[in-house]
A and B are shown apart, each in its own frame.
Chain A
Amino acid sequence: MIDAAPNGGLFHRLAPRDGATIAFTIDGAPAQARAGDLLLTAILLNRVALRRFEFGDAARAGFCLMGACQDCWVMLADGRRVRACTTLLEPGMAVVIDGVGRG
């Protein structure tokens, strides 16, 4: 299971952002980020990983952040698969990491 991060996620926001707050969910749990955040940023501000590794017991959090390594493909509850480092966060996105409803 991907650990929920009690003290925030892996990423650490340094530049203050005054844009609108955007609500989304991760495995059904409510989460927030800001307008202008990429999906990868939005998830990693709240969690320490983006997805499970398909070939073993491990988690992945992306790697190159420039659309080259393909490490950050994320599942959405609506069936879409998106590359999180090149996809902007949209209101209401429902990210599936461990399954809907599980924290």
Chain B
Amino acid sequence: MEWVVAEAKAVVIGAGPAGLRAAEALVRGGLRPVLIDEAERPGGQIYRQPPAGAARAAAQLYGFEAKKAVALHAILPRLADAIDYRPRTLVWNVFGNRLDTLGPEGQGGLAFERLIIASGAMDRVLPFPGWTLPGVFTLGGAQIALKAQGVAIGRRVALVGAGPLLPLVAHQYARAGATIAAVLDVTPLAAKVANAPGMTADAATFAKGLWYTLQNAIAGLTLRFGVRAIRAEGERRVVGLAWRDAAGRAHRVDCDAIGASFGLRSETQLADLAGCAFAFDAVTHQWIPQRDAAGRSSVPGVYLAGDGAGVGGADVAELQGERAALALMQDLRLPIDTGRATTLDRRLARQARFRRALEAAWPYPGHLVDAIADDEIICRCEGVTAATLRATARERDAQEMNRLKAFTRIGMGRCQGRVCGHAAAELLARTLGKDVAAVGRLRGNPPIKPIPVGGLP
């Protein structure tokens, strides 16, 4: 049986801010792109649209970003006939120039001449005592519960973070009428003060950050900074959150849910399977697929845009999506608006300065990794503990992540290392006394998410 059923000149994976702007620019250039997205409706996670029946006004859902959300959501209806849009479709493998997909009609294959990967990001997870209890979610998950479903993750919610998502989710929860027990930032306040000048490179976003902080204060929410260690309490569900402050003093609040994650991490599996070269980013402690300023990866014909190749946020993703589409058309020797490309390059350079300040304002919270006890579960899929990882590193000469995986199954569970991979690498490096870059990264493997075995060719 011939598996590949069609070939497309240009395929875009992901219908978030980057993918939508990329598809739009390709249409403007005269192409008819295939746009594949796992979700039911376009927008990505940041501009996620609630399912039918759960709709609310854009201003309610997206706050300051409502205009941007509405503009992005309008792209596909406007270009409906000019784009081959395939929602509810997972791309689970890239093999050479071929994609394997699973959609409403079952398994499929699609060959591409050019590919833009806009796979987005998810929360970066670091384990802490009690993190697998029912009631503990990522900050992004807490936000999606509210945005896509109009529900809070609990009746009394504590929020913990290491990035700008923390004050935003706190603000959104307070405004929606949720009861908030505590808002804890595990990074120091001094870092934010020191990097405030750099963050003004994007004045509008900086102003929004100040506004959220102010609104949180008015709502009576005190953000605590420099939190050293946290612990979710409870036997069968969350009943409280305990923490140590910057001075080492112990605190505790009652709560029935916790939103906790520590920055964002790029979703890089598809870029990996496409063969893109990666480099380690020492600031964010992540392996990132490399791209040039226009979005070209190391593989000819494969382009990267948005948070999936280094987290830059939604505004940057829109710019990168359009820029990658222009690069793609340039490489096809199609005429493009070079003035527009220059404008995008200038805006992206300014955003890069802002992003560097932001990363310095919320530095990597390595103290949480240092605090991981031996009995802590690192792999929530299969229950692999820190003790197992440490003992394997010491006794079985596991010098890099894929060896550690072979011995312990870390990264082999249902999530394929999305949740555990980061912490496991940090633990391995600390146990071996190596730099975390030296222990490598988990290789991507198809299928990148669970798929039913029935229906495979």
Using a CB–CB cutoff of 8 Å, the interface residues on chain A facing chain B are 3, 10-17, 19-20, 34-38, 41, 45, 48-50, 53-56, 58-71, 73, 83, 86, 88
Contacts and interface: CB of A to CB of B under 8 A. Distances in A.
A40 B54 CA distance: 14
Interface stretch (B141-149, B305-313, B348-356): B141-149
Given A41-B149, A68-B415, A69-B415, A61 B134 contact: yes
B55 interface: yes
A53 B56 CA distance: 35
B374 interface: no
Contact of A49 (B38, B134, B381, B418): B134
A10 B136 CA distance: 10
Contact of A10 (B60, B132, B135, B382): B135
Contacts of A56: 383
Given A14-B150, A34-B53, A36-B51, A66 B237 contact: no
Contact of A70 (B141, B145, B415): B415
Contacts of A3: 236-237
Contacts of B415: 68-71
A10 B134 contact: yes
B257 interface: yes
A31 B54 CA distance: 19
Given A49-B237, A65-B144, A66-B140, A60 B134 contact: yes
A42 B381 CA distance: 23
Given A48-B134, A48-B236, A62-B141, A67 B38 contact: yes
Given A3-B237, A19-B54, A60-B134, A12 B155 contact: yes
Given A12-B155, A41-B151, A62-B141, A73 B414 contact: yes
| 4 closest Cβ pairs, A-B complex | A36-B53, A15-B150, A36-B54, A61-B134
B123 A64 contact: yes
6 contacts: A36-B52, A53-B132, A60-B134, A64-B123, A67-B39, A68-B122
A38 B147 CA distance: 12
A30 to B, nearest CB: 20
Interface in B370-386: 380-383
Interface string B18-54: 0000000000000000000011100001000011111
B128 interface: no
B419 interface: yes
B339 interface: no
A13 to B, nearest CB: 5
Contacts of B144: 65-66
Q: Main SS of chain A's interface residues?
A: loop
Nearest to A57: B236
A56 B132 CA distance: 12
Contacts of B267: 68
B262 interface: no
Given A14-B151, A55-B383, 13 more contacts: A12-B151, A12-B152, A14-B176, A17-B53, A17-B54, A17-B150, A34-B54, A48-B237, A53-B383, A59-B134, A63-B141, A65-B145, A68-B419
Interface band, chain B: 35 or more
Greatest chain B CB density within 10 A among A13, A34, A61, A67 is at: A61
Q: Main SS of chain B's interface residues?
A: loop
Contacts of A70: 381, 413-415, 449-450
Interface string B40-82: 1000010000111111100010000000000000000000000
Greatest chain B CB density within 10 A among A12, A37, A71 is at: A12
A66 B380 CA distance: 16
B189 to A, nearest CB: 28
Nearest to B175: A14
A100 B178 CA distance: 34
Contacts of B381: 70-71
Nearest to A65: B141
A59 B236 contact: yes
B53 A63 contact: no
B137 A41 contact: no
A16 B151 CA distance: 9
B154 interface: yes
B324 interface: no
B318 interface: no
A11 B178 CA distance: 11
A61 B135 contact: yes
Nearest to A16: B150
A38 B148 contact: yes
Contact of B53 (A19, A73, A83): A19
A83 B380 CA distance: 16
Given A10-B257, A11-B152, A14-B150, A63 B51 contact: no
A12 B154 contact: yes
A7 to B, nearest CB: 9
Contacts of B178: 12, 14
B268 interface: no
A83 B88 CA distance: 13
Given A14-B150, A15-B56, A70-B449, A36 B50 contact: yes
Nearest to A45: B151
